[in-house]
Amino acid sequence: MVEILIGIIAGFVSGMGMGGGTILIMCLSFFCGIEQHIAQATNLVFFIPTSIVAIITNLKQKYINFKIAIPIAISGIIGAIIGAILSFKTDVANLKKYFGIFLLLIALWEIYSMAKKYIFNKKTHNNIKQV
C-alpha cells in the first residue's frame, strides 16, 4: 500500500514537471528501506511511462519548444550515461550523502528564489503605493 501511495505522489509531482523522481527516490529509501542504487534504478523505470504521458499531454497543449527540447534531451542522454556509470561505481553510503547534498542545494535554491521574489514584490508594491 505504501508503494502505491508513493507512486501516486511521485507521479503527480512528475506530471507537474517538478521532479517526481527525486521524491520517489527519497520515499523508497526512507519509507521502504530500499538501497539507494535500487531506488535510483526503480526511478528510471518509473520515469519512462510518466514522461511519455507528460510529453503527450504537453504536445497536445503545444507547450514544447523543440528548438530548446532537442539539444537538452541529447545532452540529458549523455549526462544520464555518465551519471549511471558514476552511480554504479559509487558505494551506497557516499551515494546517499551526495543525494542528500543535492536535495539540500535544491532546497536552499528554492528558499533563495522565494525570498528574492518576495523582496522584489515588496519593493514593487511599496513603489506603487508611493506614486
* pLDDT tens per residue across span 69-113: 999 999 999 998 998 899 889 999 999 899 899 889 988 998 999
Nearest to 21 by CA among 76, 103, 129: 103
25-80 pLDDT per residue, tens: 988 998 999 998 899 889 889 888 888 988 999 999 999 999 999 999 999 999 98
Query: How many whole angstroms separate alpha carbon 99 and alpha carbon 97?
Result: 5
| pTM metric for this prediction | 0.66
DSSP 17: T
Query: How many whole angstroms separate alpha carbon 116 and alpha carbon 120?
Result: 6
Whose grid coordinates read 535554491? 109
Q: The C-alpha cell of 53 is what? A: 504521458
Q: Where are the domains of the chain?
A: 1-65, 93-131
Pair 98, 90: CB distance under 8 Å? yes
Pair 27, 7: CB distance under 8 Å? no
Pair 36, 91: CB distance under 8 Å? no
Number of Cβ atoms within 10 Å of the Cβ of 68: 9
